[in-house]
């Protein structure tokens, strides 16, 4: 079946994560169900653009966001591109499709004052979990790495002597990120405590639970949300906001956009430029204070 071949292609050739592959598969399954119900069409390879458009209308009527609709249609578009590539179809029905308009997602980073309070004022317990949680927060803020990258960080990829870590990002792309002196000290303290945790030395990943198991997504979220609730009134407090904060603060302090792009592991500058709106606001303040015409 063409869908099975496509899923295999995403997994084996494109090296997409299991989570991403699952999302693609669900989107295609949803469209299959729609075609079967609305048109008694079993093979979606034979679907026309009017059919897809009616699917989009039905999705919008269920009140899901335009962003979610666009993601589903993007999955379908990728599938049709795959069918074109393999010669299964001659025309891509979505070739000229335009995505639905979406409101810009405004993600507000933590301020430098909030980060200062978090890392230098807020007390952390002097225990394995306390040190681990502080290291999780510091590492996300100091490197801008993704939550999944932190969860899968291997012991062998932390180089204390060279003050750097090797991160495996999207599409299995590796990058080296330098570490701050404060982060190095935390790593040393954490590794000392980690050795006495059950199963700790058997685990290949850096971050583990108090039972010695690999740390997981919801725990990382709970760590970030829990601690930042003590210092910030912002609605969204997540690992991704820390990545956003890293990029914004780096740019505010004059870091080169290309350097930030490399540190974040972005494939293109366009992905990094979404973080520049905050630094532009900061530049306006500096410009206003420093320009002779404003004196």
Give catalytic residue positions. Answer: 146, 170, 240, 243, 266, 275
C-alpha dihedral sign at 233, 238, 242, 243: negative
β-strand 174-178 against 158-159: which pairing, if any? unpaired
CA-nearest of 163, 168, 167, 166 to 180 is 163
Residue 177 φ/ψ, nearest 5 degrees: -120, 125
User: What is the CB neighbour count within 10 angstroms for residue 135?
Assistant: 22
Hey, what are 51's tokens? Answer: 């059919």
CA–chain centroid gap for 294, Å, is 41
CA angle centred on 228, ends 163 and 146, rounded to 5°: 45
CA separation for the pair 240, 75 (Å, rounded): 23
């Amino acid at each position: 079946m063409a869908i099975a071949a496509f899923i295999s292609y995403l997994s084996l050739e494109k090296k997409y994560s299991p989570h991403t592959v699952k999302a693609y598969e669900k989107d295609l399954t949803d469209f299959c169900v729609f075609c079967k119900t609305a048109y008694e069409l079993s093979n979606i390879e034979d679907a026309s653009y009017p059919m897809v458009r009616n699917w989009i209308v039905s999705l919008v009527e269920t009140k899901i966001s335009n962003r979610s609709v666009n993601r589903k249609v993007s999955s379908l578009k990728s599938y049709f591109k795959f069918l074109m590539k393999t010669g299964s179809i001659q025309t891509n029905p979505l070739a000229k499709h335009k995505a639905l308009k979406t409101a810009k997602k405004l993600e507000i980073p933590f301020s430098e004052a909030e980060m200062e309070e978090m890392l230098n004022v807020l007390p952390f317990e002097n225990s394995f979990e306390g040190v681990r949680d502080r290291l999780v927060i510091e590492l996300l803020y100091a490197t801008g790495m993704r939550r999944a990258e932190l969860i899968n960080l291997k012991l062998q990829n932390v180089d204390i002597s060279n003050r750097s870590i090797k991160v495996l990002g999207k599409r299995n792309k590796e990058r080296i990120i330098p570490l701050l002196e404060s982060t190095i000290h935390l790593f040393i303290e954490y590794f000392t405590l980690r050795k006495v945790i059950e199963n700790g030395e058997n685990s290949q990943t850096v971050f583990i639970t108090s039972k010695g198991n690999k740390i997981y997504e919801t725990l990382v979220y709970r760590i970030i949300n829990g601690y930042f609730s003590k210092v910030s009134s912002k609605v969204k407090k997540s690992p991704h906001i820390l990545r956003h904060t890293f990029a914004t603060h780096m740019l505010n302090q004059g870091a080169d956009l290309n350097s930030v792009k490399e540190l974040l592991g972005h494939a293109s500058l366009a992905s990094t430029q979404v973080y520049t709106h905050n630094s532009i606001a900061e530049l306006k303040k500096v410009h206003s204070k420093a320009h002779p015409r404003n004196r």
